[in-house]
Amino acid sequence: MEKEKVVIIGSGPAGLTAALYTARATLNPVVIAGAQLGGQVALTYEIENYPGVFNPEATPTGADLVESMRAQAEHFGARIEYDEVIEVDFAKGSPFYIKTYGKEYLAEAVIVTAGASPRHLGVPGEEAFTGRGVSYCGTCDGFFFRGKDVVVVGGGDSALEEGIFLTKFANKVEVLHRRDALRAGPALQRRAAANPKMSFVWNTVVDEIVGNGTVQKVKVSDTSTGEQREMKTDGVFIFIGHYPNSKFLEGQLEMDEHGYVITDNLMRTSVEGVFAAGEIQDPIYRQVATSAGQGCAAAMQAEKWLSERE
């Protein structure tokens, strides 16, 4: 059993910022990285809205930002474990029990920054064709669709940002949105509208994804008329929001009806000594800048809580 002052669960911008701050506070934190170092931002193509990270000649990628955050946190003493948490026991209070695939920990304080994952449509064919034409990440899979036609499902910032990225590879990117007005912000809407490879199919939902080995078409319905039709496509990229990665915390921390961990404005959860930051507790802002800020706040509160106990 490893005894630690602070264990940080998750390595996205919230986790790596919490690691930087707790490391600089000489708490020698351990970050349990989870399935993907950096979380969702590691798979983001371009970072244009994180203050201080700006190069108009060569826009930094999400991977660049994660690498820089990781190096900075490790430089100041954070230790990163490339492992996943499978169980926690917070009921007995501090020190808190945390089990990963490879180790067991007892942590005086815990900062939960396990993030969120892309939501699925839940239609026939989606699961069967995942990795064979169905994708939740343009940056990861766009390359496989060179010269092909793809559809993007969703009308938010992710759908447009990823759709614009996909035009680098695909011949045609059709955005299927269930309403006739986008949720995405005006800057992305302008860029999408100006992109000759992009078009929009309004009031449309996907009922089924069909193929033979790989995706060949989608069956769709018009939400205003109910009319059904088929659209030929080689790929279906789904960007319809996210759900928090909080399954392993069920029964341990108070959550809302969607599974987001409830925190107060000091990033405290329902268990004293356990703090949370980033998308695991934030269904609203979900930006690199806000997650990093929340990670910083959680780290400062964890440090204060630990020092007051001594």
Task: Provide the binding-site residues for ligand NAP, judged by CB under 6 A.
Answer: 49, 121, 153-159, 161, 178-179, 183, 205, 239-242, 286
Distance CA 200, CA 198 (A): 7
140 is catalytic: yes
Q: Rounded to the nearest whole angstrom, what is the least distance from the CB of residue 86 to ligand NAP in the complex?
A: 27
Q: Which of 137, 157, 234, 282 is catalytic?
A: 137
Q: Pairing mode, if any, of strands 172-176 and 149-153?
A: parallel
Q: Which of 64, 83, 89, 140 is catalytic?
A: 140
Q: What is the dihedral of CA 162, 52, 40, 152, to 10 degrees?
A: -10
Three-state DSSP state, 219: strand
Closer to ligand NAP at the Cβ: 164 or 274? 164
Closer to ligand NAP at the Cβ: 24 or 242? 242
Q: How far is CA 194 from each of CA 164, 167, 188, 237, rounded to the nearest angstrom?
A: 10, 12, 10, 20
Closer to ligand NAP at the Cβ: 55 or 212? 55
Q: Which of 83, 89, 141, 222 is catalytic?
A: 141
141 is catalytic: yes
Q: Rounded to the nearest whole angstrom, what is the least distance from the CB of residue 165 to ligand NAP in the complex?
A: 11
Closer to ligand NAP at the Cβ: 77 or 118? 118
Beta-bridge mates of residue 89: 97
Q: How far is CA 90 from each of CA 61, 74, 271, 291, rounded to the nearest angstrom?
A: 37, 27, 7, 23
Three-state DSSP state, 23: helix
List phi, psi (to 5°) of 138.
-65, -40
Nearest residue to ligand NAP by CB is: 156
Q: Rounded to the nearest whole angstrom, what is the least distance from the CB of residue 267 to ligand NAP in the complex?
A: 19
Q: Rounded to the nearest whole angstrom, what is the least distance from the CB of residue 131 to ligand NAP in the complex?
A: 20
Closer to ligand NAP at the Cβ: 159 or 218? 159
Q: Rounded to the nearest whole angstrom, what is the least distance from the CB of residue 49 to ligand NAP in the complex?
A: 5
Burial of 89 (0-12, 13-18, 19+ CB in 10 A): exposed
- The answer to whether 158 touches 185, Cβ cutoff 8 Å, is no
- Residues serving a catalytic function are 137, 140-141
